[in-house]
Chains A and B, each alone.
Chain A
Amino acid sequence: MLESGYKEMEAFKQITAKVMPLDRANVDTDAIIPKQFLKSIRRAGFGPYLFDEWRYEDIGEPEMDCTNRPLKDDFILNNPDYQGAEILLTRENFGCGSSREHAPWALDDYGFRAIIAPSFADIFFNNCFKNGILPIALSADVVDSLFKEIAAGYQLAIDLDKQTIVTPKGEVIQFDVDAARKYRLYNGLDDIALTLLQADKIKAYEAERVKRAPWLFA
């Protein structure tokens, strides 16, 4: 990783990791990473400010050292039982609100690699795949049963290739993922390089569009 925080997208193949339950619906991107941290021109370093308002007693400011900030003990991120979790389990419409990619950057920087919820907001969902995070939508009933099972140390094994989640009891939950997104995430591919392979098609489209809508190119 460079000084600017720029890094190559990490491929996602399979993980076995602890799960943190965040039992709230409609968690918005302002909650995930409050606006004052968006002033940064870097791409990394957002992890300490993830869920800042729910996590700390004081008001967070950009570039603040978080090591001695007072914690809100009742917030799940501060529960010692769930430290080191790489999978976030939450409720419907996770990531609603703004398009800020700082939300997946903060989740990634904190250490989350996968998020399980009944549904996600579209822009956030799309942003996750660009950052090596796998968002998994399961039925509300299955999510509910995972919430009931979860306890300290609870782990899930997620395999992107097989599209499965295996619970500690050995139960196998199948999940859907768009094939094109899966391919890119699994291989950690750069969208731009892939798209530029089609440069001839883009040029041909433009040449044809200039004729149809010349005012756009005037």
Chain B
Amino acid sequence: MSEKTLYDKLWDDHVVHTEDDGTSLIYIDRQLIHEVTSPQAFESLRLAGRKPWNTQRNLAVADHNVPTTDRKLKIPDPIARLQVETLDKNCAEFGITEFDMNDVRQGIVHVMGPEQGATLPGMTIVCGDSHTSTHGASGALAFGIGTSEVELALATQCLTQKKSKNFLIKVNGSVGAGVTAKDIVLAIIGEIGTAGGTGYAIEFAGTAITNLSIEGRMTVCNMAIEAGARAGLIAVDDTTVDYYRDRPYSPKGEHWFMAEREWQKLHSDEGAVFDKLVELNAADIKPQVTWGTSPEMVVAIDEHVPHPEDEFDAVKQQGMINALRYMGLDGGQAINEIKIDKVFIGSCTNSRIEDLRAAAAVIKGKKKAETVTLALVVPGSGLVKLQAEKEGLDKVFIDAGFEWREPGCSMCLAMNADKLLEGERCASTSNRNFEGRQGYGGRTHLVSPAMAAAAGITGHFVDVREWV
């Protein structure tokens, strides 16, 4: 069979060697490094007297621990500061390029990579972070790894893997106004569940996907991991090629034309066979809001929190009961009556310029609800921040009573000072609503940037389609 899926092509292109049992040595074109999952890998390399295979294949940035307030001062938390300083030292010692905390290119690793052209179509890309799946939006094979594999990739430029299965998710037709990439991917996770993609590489296709910008496609692939798939992929088209033109690390001159020709081949062949197929109708997708402590616990804005007693599977039912208790909700509550305390607009899922534009469009000329104690806007990178300021978006946010911060992961995982307090409820554009994710006892509802912005204005969830 000669027809290949996009994943097959990327895989075949990077196999160094395959054992009889199918275990393969896969070449890694790009490793992105951040402060949280790398110190132990560097330490281990040092102890073993090993050197990186090729320093040029790596690019580092601190994002998880950095403060989003004044950067001129040192990080107040001494443990976080040591971790960020350890990254600086390791990169200097091993000769790896790093954008430090005060570099304008600094940002969330998955925002910075594509923005710089450091992650490109056709590459294999790894990072010690599960949301590395983001980079698959441009026809790359990108997935998260643990620290042992960060070390392995540093030392050998390879990983040992068996091939995943192929999963095609087609979103046919077009979404309505006010429905975004975030709503598409949340609807997909609601459909297939958080383990639906385990063991697969998911290719997203269909008109609703190809209609998305690269930034929207990144939002979709970012959350492939929330569906259980290590890698999410979208075929290359003209939108992809245009995105990478003239980025700092993009190919130059003759190389650009060579790359463009190769990239145009990065799509699944007509007739390629997938192990699993799910189709959704885009017109049926409404703005989504999660109600529980797993991204699959999601409904549309005009729906209600489900009743656990309607679930027949005992394990799932108990999961729902636990989730509702943690979230302080009851089955049957209308989603648009849930009141929020905080808003978080940011994260590797939704902190790019288009996300900020979408949120600002909703907010413009309005004021944050008095009951909302904090509404944070955290751009994905220093360059996103600059662009937003050039467009005056910062003023829109600040005038509405939202806070305009420095770039980083911030309250998506609350490793820095930005966090929910116990019992606080947040409309968040991030990717995980796990217990404690945004702070001990904090309650997270995952939504799109426009939905988070609207909730910040009204103080409760509201159907943003009525505002557009």
Q: Which of chain A's residues have a CB closer than 8 A to the CB of B23?
A: 178, 180
Which residues of chain B are within 8 angstroms of A13 by Cβ–Cβ distance?
none
Q: Are B195 and A93 in contact (CB under 8 A)?
A: yes
Residues in A neighbouring B414, C-beta threshold 8 A: 35
> Are B195 and A92 touching (Cβ within 8 A)?
yes
Structural contact, B415 and A38, CB atoms closer than 8 A: yes
Name the A residues within 8 Å of B155 (CB-CB): 192, 195-196
A28 within 8 A of B: yes
> Is the pair A96, B151 in contact by a Cβ cutoff of 8 Å?
no
B25:A195 contact, CB within 8 angstroms = yes
Q: When the two chains form their complex, are residues A126 and B146 in contact, meaning their CB atoms are under 8 A apart?
A: yes
In contact, B322 and A192 (Cβ under 8 angstroms): no
Contact B434–A28 (Cβ < 8 Å)? yes
User: How far in angstroms is the closest Cβ of chain A from B452?
Assistant: 21
Cα A215 to Cα B19 in complex, Å, equals 29
| Nearest-CB residue, chain B, relative to A4 | B43
A179 touches B252 (CB 8 A): no
Query: A216, B29: Cβ atoms under 8 Å?
Result: yes
| Option from A38, A96, A178, A199 in Cβ contact (under 8 Å) with B228 | A96
Which listed residue (A5, A41, A97) contacts B130, Cβ 8 A? Answer: A97
Whole-angstrom distance between the alpha carbons of A98 and B415 in the complex? 13
Q: What is the minimal beta-carbon distance from A139 to any residue of chain B, in angstroms?
A: 14
* Bound Cα distance from A195 to B19, whole angstroms: 12
CB < 8 Å neighbour of A35 from B82, B151, B157, B413: B413
Q: Which of A29-54 contact B (CB under 8 A)?
A: 30-31, 34-36, 38-43, 53
Report whether A24 and B43 are in contact in the complex, using a CB–CB cutoff of 8 Å. no
Distance from A216 Cβ to chain B, minimum over Cβ atoms (Å): 6
The 6 closest A-B pairs by CB, nearest first: A215-B251, A101-B146, A130-B148, A215-B255, A41-B39, A127-B146
Q: Show 19 residue pairs from A and B whose CB-CB distance is below 8 angstroms, ordered by the A residue.
A: A6-B40, A28-B294, A30-B437, A39-B77, A42-B40, A59-B440, A93-B195, A96-B194, A97-B432, A98-B432, A121-B195, A122-B199, A122-B229, A123-B143, A192-B155, A195-B156, A202-B25, A206-B27, A215-B251
Chain A positions near chain B (C-beta within 8 angstroms) = 2, 4-6, 23-26, 28, 30-31, 34-36, 38-43, 53, 59, 62-63, 91-93, 96-101, 104, 119, 121-123, 126-127, 130-131, 178-180, 191-192, 195-196, 198-199, 201-202, 205-206, 209, 212-218
Q: Knowing that A39-B36, A126-B146 touch, tell me 16 more A-B residue pairs with CB under 8 angstroms.
A: A6-B47, A24-B318, A34-B436, A41-B86, A53-B436, A59-B440, A62-B79, A92-B315, A96-B294, A97-B434, A98-B144, A99-B130, A123-B145, A130-B146, A215-B120, A215-B256
